[in-house]
Amino acid sequence: MDHKFTDSVTLDGTRLTGDGYLVTTARSVRTGVQLYAGSEVGRPEMRTVRVMRPADEVFSQDSLQSFSHAPVTLDHPSDAVTAENWSKLAVGEVSTAAQKDGDWIALPLILKDAAAIAAVQSGKRELSAGYTCELEWTDGHPDYDAIQRNIKINHLAVVDRARAGQEARIGDSIWGASPIPVTDTENKSMTLKTVLVDGLQVETTEAGAQAIAKLTADKAALAVAYDAEIADLKAAIATADAALAKAEAERDAALAKVLDAAAMDAAVAARADLIARAKAVAPKVVTDGKTDLEIKRAVLVDRKINLDGKSDAYIEARFDTLVEDAAGADKTAAALGDTQQVADAAAKEAEAYAAYVKRMTGAK
């Protein structure tokens, strides 16, 4: 799969010919490892991708040949430059064969379009190579993540330095990906680092990355300390809640004991009364181990009362009736017993009186 890339250098040492053409030499597409944004080279899951440009690829005959007479454009076109659109897009060309220049490719250029020449003279002096290549991924390599293969130039674009100047730049949104270089005030090449700040990718220098790392670590330490304080507070609240719950439980238990004692006394008294009433109706009935309802049922059964299909309410009512009847019978019996005693006393008194009369009259 071919990927579109751009490289940027600055146009220096320009001169005009007698015909008004602008002639210059620039360097582009160097060897070595360069950084690219992962999203621009098909690996959005990676913040940056280290791409190796081997010398045998950069300086291969096919790669150098592709630079010969390559068109120069003013800014990157939205489409690749071809014979069909060359007259509309080209403002010049690579005038002679590209040559190896140390780790770079030297590109002799000539600009023939007056507007493009004026733009360069006005400060539009960044040269960005638009080319295609194949990326050979080498996951796990300690020094780089991918290798560029089959590098082929399509065009060289004159772009505005003011857009990015000499600061780090991620590739042109129209034409592929450019590396992430930066130059300091002394024009020494520096490499940006990509760091993640609150989920956002930030490009910065090594010193900036260290500062961000320190601030991030301090923030994390504060968060840990805060979490620890919150945890201690929650633990203290939990301890206080536990102590309060224990005190309330002990209070409720003490109150329940008082209530239970009174209830138990009432229950014992009620049970004793039930047993007494049951024995009054059925003296031989067994009450041990029986519930109140079972005792009442046993009394009714003892009295030969049929309880088939009868409800608990019937048993309760019938038992109460028997108890009331038994109490009435006892009162009647008591009354009858008192009358007999009176009659017996009267008979004895009459008998004594008759004996007295007989003694007094001398009757035999």
* pLDDT tens, residue by residue, 167-188: 222 233 446 666 665 444 334 4
Which stretch of 159-173, 252-266, 318-332 has the lowest confidence by average pLDDT?
Answer: 159-173
One-letter amino acid for residue 158 of the chain? V
User: Which backbone phi and psi does 60 adopt, to 5 degrees?
Assistant: -65, 155
- Number of C-beta neighbours around residue 316 at 10 A: 14
- Number of C-beta neighbours around residue 169 at 10 A: 21
Q: What angle do CA 176, 54, 63 make, to 5 degrees?
A: 65
- Bridge partners, residue 49, by sequence: 36
- pLDDT classification of 88: cutoffs 50, 70, 90: very high
Q: What is the mean pLDDT of the chain?
A: 79
3-class DSSP state of 33? strand
User: Which backbone phi and psi does 88 adopt, to 5 degrees?
Assistant: -90, -25
Q: How confident is the model at residue 343, as a pLDDT?
A: 60
- pLDDT classification of 350: cutoffs 50, 70, 90: low
- Residue 222 scores a pLDDT above 50: yes
- Residue 114 scores a pLDDT above 90: yes
* CB 314, CB 300: distance < 8 Å: no
- Residue 109 scores a pLDDT above 70: yes
- Residue 93 scores a pLDDT above 90: yes
pLDDT tens for 9-44 read 566 567 888 999 998 887 776 788 888 888 888 888
Q: How confident is the model at residue 257, as a pLDDT?
A: 72
* CB 6, CB 177: distance < 8 Å: yes
> Assign residue 28 a region: left if phi > 0, alpha if psi is -120 to 50, beta otherwise?
beta
Q: Which residue has the higher pLDDT, 352 or 35?
A: 35
Q: How confident is the model at residue 177, as a pLDDT?
A: 67
Which stretch of 86-100, 280-294, 318-332 has the lowest confidence by average pLDDT?
Answer: 318-332
* CB 159, CB 126: distance < 8 Å: yes
Q: How confident is the model at residue 297, as a pLDDT?
A: 92
Q: How confident is the model at residue 12, as a pLDDT?
A: 58
Residue 215 host element (H or E): helix 206-281
- Average pLDDT of the residues in 115-140: 85
Q: What sign has the CA pseudo-torsion 178, 181, 185, 186?
A: negative
- pLDDT classification of 254: cutoffs 50, 70, 90: confident
- Residue 253 scores a pLDDT above 60: yes
Closest CA to 285 of 307, 306, 303: 303
- Bridge partners, residue 158, by sequence: 74, 127
- Residue 163 scores a pLDDT above 50: no
Q: How confident is the model at residue 83, as a pLDDT?
A: 94
Of 54-58, 87-91, 185-189, 253-257, highest mean pLDDT: 87-91
